[in-house]
Amino acid sequence: MSGVTPSVATESERHPVDAALAARLAAIVGDRRVLFRPGELLAYSSDGLPGYLKQPSIAVFPGTRDEVIAVVRELARAGAPFVPRGAGTGLSGGALADGVVLLGLNRLSRILSIDAENAIAVVEPGVVNVALSRAVSAHGLHYAPDPSSQAACTIGGNVAENAGGPHCLKYGVTLNHVVALTVALPNGEVVTLGNAAGENDGYDLVGAFVGSEGCFGVALDVTVRLARNPQAVRTLLADFHSIDAGARAVSAIIASGLLPAALEMMDAGTIRAVEASIYAAGYPTDAAAVLLVELDGPIAGLDADVATVVRHCRDAGARDVRVARDEAERTKLWQGRKKAFGAMGRISSHLVVQDAVVPRTKLPQMLARVHDIAERYRVTVCNVFHAGDGNLHPNIGYDANDPDESARVHAAMREIMQACVDAGGTITGEHGVGIDKLPYMGAIFSEESLSAMCALREVFDPDRRANPGKVVPMHSCREWQMAPAARTGQH
């Protein structure tokens, strides 16, 4: 996807690379691990969010914890703003570095310790989410938060974004699974937040750090809780002739008091994209919507829960409900769902992805609203979302070279977001604010609240050099203009 902000600046247009800084960073991490040639920075000029290209000035890739600390201190000495990056799979542009230093943490990918008895692991920030689950599977454990990008995204990135995932409906998001962190603050000071026992001793600073989107510092290691694998799992696929029927089934399942491990919905456009891909899962391509429901826990009683879900789906008008026969079919059903975002590339040359939350009881009305808005602006919305949480991901494919269509798409998106807010929801469920949601922050927070966020940020990063320009709109920070270090990061 090329960008809404289209071309990458040529060398002459860009700020001159701070050659001295690059050399000092290279002295820490080695020449190969410092990139500053425009050609080599291309790969780091976007993350998972389509539509933006922002080129960093320098990209630096430490390989050890000590190197990270040394790099952060060097950046502090230089007063250089920086953006931490994991695998660059984020969907709010959180890892975009616009003319500032990009600090890649992907090389810190060691699992430092696994304590199976206490179900705790200590990992470096660059450990890939699914690699952790794989490493502990022999102990009958897994790492519960499972964002769709889990095959690629890193724990450090998950911490920054407080990542969710289908199974967070029952098991909670990243925050519920992080008990302690060692963090290099932007000034280079190393601090420990939380403790391995997972008890609050004083203010919940882990809670403040998880979800801080790289603005509070860089995690050097993360102590996470591991979850015991459930005794049994049942995965159901229900298909519906209308989105509304699917949404009513979701409401009915939740209202019945059941807590599924996951409750996901995909609409026709999404189903067709997935079924055309290598991850084809056998979803019915003539359905208006499918629900993917997972129930897990002790085997006793599980099948009664399955029967309840089947009944609610049928009552809502499901055409068919089937239960995955074995692990292979279950994996296939999940792979299709998890790769749905990637499969959107099949639909059109450009894509807007969105992330919003509504109270789940309002799901049927909200989906009808989304449909109306899309129709009014003549755009095609593909919905794929965590229905159980009321977390919507409306995606709109379009052609960015068509200015009229682009304008309609962005207007439709704004209206959809406003509708979610009006329904009592919010502007992000799990992707974070980054730069993509900045314009919507004012819709849910007062200036006072935003100002308070700035004050909190200042505790961790008084110079505001960590991930500048993200999360809180700049104008909300009264002192912003007075912080020259941060301003150099803004072009």
Partner 1 sequence: MRSGIDACVHCGFCLQSCPTYLTLEDENDSPRGRVLLMRSALEGTLAIDDPSLETHIDRCLGCRACETACPSGVPYGHLLEATRATMAEHRRLPFVARLILWTFARPASLTIAMALSRLLRATRIPVLLSRLKGRLGFAMAMLASTERSGMHGAYVARGDATRGTVAVLLGCVMEGLLGGANRATERTLVVNGYSLVDAPGQRCCGALHAHAGDLRGARELARANIVAFEGADSQFICVNAAGCGAMMKEYAHLLADEPEFAERAARVSARVRDVSELLVAAGPVAGATPVDATVTYDAPCHLLHAQRIADPPIAVLRAIPGLRLVPLAGAEHCCGAAGIYNLVEPDTSNAVLAPKLENIRATGAELVATGNPGCLMQIGAGLRRASIESRAVHPVELLDASYRSTARGAR
371 secondary structure, DSSP code: H
Phi–psi pair at 100, nearest 5 degrees: -120, 180
The Cα 430–Cα 391 span in angstroms is: 8
Minimum distance between the CB of residue 87 and partner 1, rounded to whole angstroms?
A: 6
Per CB under 8 A, does 164 bind partner 1? Answer: no
The Cα 422–Cα 418 span in angstroms is: 6
Per CB under 8 A, does 57 bind partner 1? Answer: no
**Quick one: which of 21, 22, 29, 45 contacts partner 1 (CB under 8 A)?**
45
| Identity of the residue numbered 383 | N
C-alpha torsion 293→337→144→48, nearest 10: -150
Minimum distance between the CB of residue 244 and partner 1, rounded to whole angstroms?
A: 27
Q: Between 140 and 159, how does the x/- string for binding to partner 1 read (CB under 8 A)?
A: ---------x-xxx------
Per CB under 8 A, does 93 bind partner 1? Answer: no
Phi–psi pair at 15, nearest 5 degrees: -65, 145
**Quick one: which of 25, 44, 92, 263 contacts partner 1 (CB under 8 A)?**
44
Q: What single string gives the DSSP state of each residue in 63-131?
A: -SHHHHHHHHHHHHHHT--EEEESSS--SSSTT--SSSEEEE-TT---EEEEETTTTEEEE-TT-BHHH
Minimum distance between the CB of residue 135 and partner 1, rounded to whole angstroms?
A: 12
Mark residue 301 as left, alpha or beta (left: phi above 0; alpha: psi -120 to 50; beta: remaining). Answer: left
Q: Residue 17, SS3?
A: coil
**Quick one: which of 29, 34, 47, 465 contacts partner 1 (CB under 8 A)?**
47
| Both structure tokens of 148 | 């769709």
Cβ nearer to partner 1, comparing 110 with 487: 110
Per CB under 8 A, does 128 bind partner 1? Answer: yes
Per CB under 8 A, does 351 bind partner 1? Answer: yes
Minimum distance between the CB of residue 227 and partner 1, rounded to whole angstroms?
A: 22
Under a CB-based contact definition with an 8 Å cutoff, are residues 351 and 395 in contact? Answer: yes
**Quick one: which of 81, 88, 147, 217 contacts partner 1 (CB under 8 A)?**
88
Cβ nearer to partner 1, comparing 40 with 422: 40
Cβ nearer to partner 1, comparing 22 with 472: 22
**In terms of Cα–Cα distance, which of 473, 489, 440, 397 is closest to 101?**
489
Per CB under 8 A, does 107 bind partner 1? Answer: yes
Beta bridge partners of 83: 102
Which window, 2-10, 187-195, 214-222, 360-368, contacts partner 1 (CB under 8 A)?
Answer: 2-10
Q: Give me the residue label for tokens 């999360």.
A: 471
Per CB under 8 A, does 376 bind partner 1? Answer: no
Cβ nearer to partner 1, comparing 7 with 325: 7
Under a CB-based contact definition with an 8 Å cutoff, are residues 21 and 78 in contact? Answer: yes
What residues from 277 to 336 belong to the interface with partner 1 (CB under 8 A)? 277-279
**Quick one: which of 132, 274, 357, 454 contacts partner 1 (CB under 8 A)?**
274
Per CB under 8 A, does 383 bind partner 1? Answer: no
The Cα 129–Cα 148 span in angstroms is: 10
| Identity of the residue numbered 29 | V
Point out which residues bind partner 1 (CB under 8 A): 1-2, 7-8, 10, 32, 35, 37-40, 42-48, 50, 61, 63, 87-89, 106-107, 128, 149, 151-153, 274, 276-279, 339-346, 349-351
